[in-house]
Amino acid sequence: MNETIKTILHRRAIRRFDARQIEEDSLQQILQAGLYAPSAGGRQGVIFAVCQDREVNERLGKIKRANSNPRMATATSYVSKEQPSIADDPKLINAFYDAPTVITMFAPKNFLFAAEDCAVAAENMMLAADSLGVGSCYIGQGWTAFADTYGQEILHKWEIRTDYYAVMQLLLGYPKADDNHPAAKPRKNDRVLRF
Ligand SMILES: Cc1cc2nc3c(=O)[nH]c(=O)nc-3n(C[C@H](O)[C@H](O)[C@H](O)COP(=O)(O)O)c2cc1C
Does the beta carbon of 133 sit less than 6 angstroms from any atom of ligand 1?
no
pLDDT at residue 72 in the model: 86
Please give the number of the atom of ligand 1 that sits closest to the Cα of 87. 11
**d(C-alpha 94, C-alpha 173), whole Å:** 15
CA 195 – ligand 1 centroid, Å: 31
Report pLDDT for 75: 84
Question: pTM above 0.75?
Answer: yes
Backbone angles phi, psi at 29, to 5 degrees: -70, -35
Residues 3-69+80-173: name the CATH superfamily. NADH Oxidase (3.40.109.10)
- Least confident piece of the model among 67-71, 130-134, 137-141, 172-176: 67-71
For CA atoms 68, 120, 32, 185, the dihedral sign is: positive
Which helix (H) or strand (E) segment holds residue 120: the answer is helix 114-131
Q: Give rounded-to-5 percent helix, strand, coil for the chain.
A: 35, 15, 50
Cβ contact 151:144 at 8 Å: no
How many angstroms does the Cα of residue 20 sit away from the middle of ligand 1?
Answer: 23
Query: pLDDT digits over 50-76, tens only?
Result: 999 999 999 999 999 999 988 888 888
Mean pLDDT, the chain, rounded, equals 97
Q: Over 90: is that where the pLDDT of 158 sits?
A: yes
- Ligand 1 near 5 CB (within 6 A): no
* Closest CA to ligand 1's atom 11: 85
Ligand 1 centroid–CA 10 distance in Å is 15
Which residue from 169, 51, 41 is spatially nearest to 101, judged by alpha carbons? 51
| Residues 60, 94: Cα–Cα separation, whole Å | 8
Q: What is the dihedral of CA 53, 44, 157, 60, to 10 degrees?
A: -50
Mean pLDDT of 76-89: 95
Whether residue 139 has its Cβ less than 6 Å from ligand 1: yes
Q: What is the pLDDT of residue 61?
A: 98
Question: Helix (H, G, I), strand (E, B), or coil: what is residue 175?
Answer: strand
Give the separation between CA 40 and CA 53, rounded to whole angstroms: 31
Q: From atom 27 of ligand 1, which residue's Cα is the shortest distance away?
A: 12
